[in-house]
Every structure is written in C-alpha cells, then in structure tokens.
Amino acid sequence: MASVTANRLAKTYDRPGNSPLRVLQDVSFRAIDHEFICILGPSGCGKTTILNSLAGLVEHDGEIQLLGNSADAPPTIGYVFQTPRLLPWKTVGDNLEFVLRAWGVPEDKRTSIAEDWLKRVGLADFAGAYPHELSLGMQARVGLARALATNPDILLMDEPFSHVDEITARRLRLQLQAICAQTKQTVVFITHNPREAAFLADRIYVLSQIPARVTGELQANLPRPRIPESPEIADVVRQIYKMLESPEIDKEI
C-alpha cells in the first residue's frame, strides 16, 4: 500500500552574501494508498522544493515517510517534471528505453514496454520521432509515459501541464485521469491552478506564500470519471478560492 507522509517539513536555502531564505515552514500532508493529492499554491512558494524533498533530491528538516507496495523493498518513484526534459539526441522510444535500462528492466522487454506506454498516451506512431519534432503537448505525454513505464509506487508531478495552452492541458488532464484509473498509483501533483486541482484531486492542500505553510485542506469527494466543466467541479473551485482568500486559516492535518 503506497503512501506519502510529510510531517513538519521545512527548508531554508543558504544564499552567500544574503540572509538565508526560509522556503518551507512546518508543511505537513499525506497521501494514502492510491490517493491523488494536489498541493496548490502561488508561484515561488516552494512547491517544487516539496517534490524534490520527497524524491530525495534536496536536504530538508522534518520527517518524510514513503511506503511502497512491497514491504521488502523501498518504494519506487516516478517524477514528471515541469518541462519534459527529454534527451534531444534520442528518439521518443529510446527516451523510454533509456529509463527502463537504468531501472534494470531486461533488454528483451524494454521495447515492448516502451511501445505499450506510447500507445497508452496516444503516441504509438511517434516512437521513432525526436523530441524537437513533437509539440509541447506531445512532449508532455512522453514525459508522463516515461515516468509510468517503470510502474512506480508513487508518482510525483510538478506542474506538468503549465507550459501548454489550456485546450491541450484539458486534454492531458483527461488522459491523466484515465491512466490513473488503470494504474492506481499514489500521486502527489503540484499546481497553481485551482480548476486543475479540483478536477484531478481526491484531496487538496493549499499553501501560503513563503515561508510556505498549509493554510487549508479540502476533500474533493467526487465520483470518477469527472467532467471538467461539471457544476460539482465548479463548486470545489469556489471552495478553493475561499481558502485562498482566507490565509489566516491554518488547519491541523
């Protein structure tokens, strides 16, 4: 049962010649097995630092507990970055196979796994294409396929659709919803878009400006599959904006 728990997470960056910058202040949240949580906050409030802390990429204060689906092995983590970060000299298929090789997937299985995931994200005909030949939306889909190809216990997503237009982002959110219904990963998704959070999340955490702290928590108990323009989504969006307009709220988690 994969889960994520952060307790009193804090981070201060040293800045030579300047005073230290406190980015996170006692941030606590959790994602239980198969839960999709969104961490919502303004640009520059430390959301990426939270994901990098979960991934073990930066040192931090506080406690983080990551549990995977196997009691005998540490959890596996997939990371979808803000920009796809595809290797430009490799084809789309080779980008996926590169990650599979790094994870120790046998050579005779890599191509079939890569082809399967490209098919799932609607890019079966682009395995031989290079990243520069794809649109930004297509590159985002490759980044998602690459993160999921290793079948991670926990999926971390850092505003992966923020660099594409809203029409493309809507399509990508619908596709992500369908994929997560199949794979059932535990997901921590970073966003500054209230409508995106309302559509995707089971639970939403709202952050303040830096030093960021959790100022609100909201359950989005809506049935799936969801329709982005539904009245129920709009109601959750209204609740999010109420929390954003009331920064004094500080709920215990």
Measured CA to CA, the distance from residue 218 to residue 203 in angstroms comes to 6
Name the token pair of 179: 């994929």
Q: Report the CATH fold assignment for 1-76+154-253.
A: Rossmann fold (3.40.50)
pLDDT tens by residue, 66-90: 998 887 888 999 999 998 899 999 9
Confidence tier at 250 by pLDDT (50, 70, 90): very low
Q: Both ends of the chain: CA-CA distance in Å?
A: 20
Per-residue confidence (pLDDT) for residue 69, from 0 to 100: 86
Measured CA to CA, the distance from residue 246 to residue 90 in angstroms comes to 48
Least confident stretch, 14-18, 102-106, 208-212: 14-18
Mean predicted confidence (pLDDT) in 203-214: 94
Confidence tier at 155 by pLDDT (50, 70, 90): very high
Per-residue confidence (pLDDT) for residue 246, from 0 to 100: 65
**Conformational region of residue 25, where left means phi above 0, alpha means psi within -120 to 50, and beta covers everything else:** beta
Q: Which residues pair with 212 in a beta bridge?
A: 24
- For residue 248, is pLDDT > 70? no
Measured CA to CA, the distance from residue 82 to residue 214 in angstroms comes to 22
Name the token pair of 40: 């919502």
Q: Looking at 36-160, which runs of residues are DSSP E strands?
A: 36-40, 61-67, 77-80, 154-158
- φ, ψ of residue 189 to 5 degrees: the values are -115, 125
Residue spans in the chain of domains classed CATH 3.40.50.300: 1-76+154-253
More confident residue, 42 or 92: 92
Whole-number average pLDDT of the chain: 92
Per-residue confidence (pLDDT) for residue 252, from 0 to 100: 36
Instruction: Please give the single-letter amino acid code of residue 8.
Output: R
For Cα atoms 221, 66, 156, give the angle at the middle one, nearest 5 degrees. Answer: 65
Per-residue confidence (pLDDT) for residue 71, from 0 to 100: 78
Per-residue confidence (pLDDT) for residue 247, from 0 to 100: 52
Per-residue confidence (pLDDT) for residue 63, from 0 to 100: 96
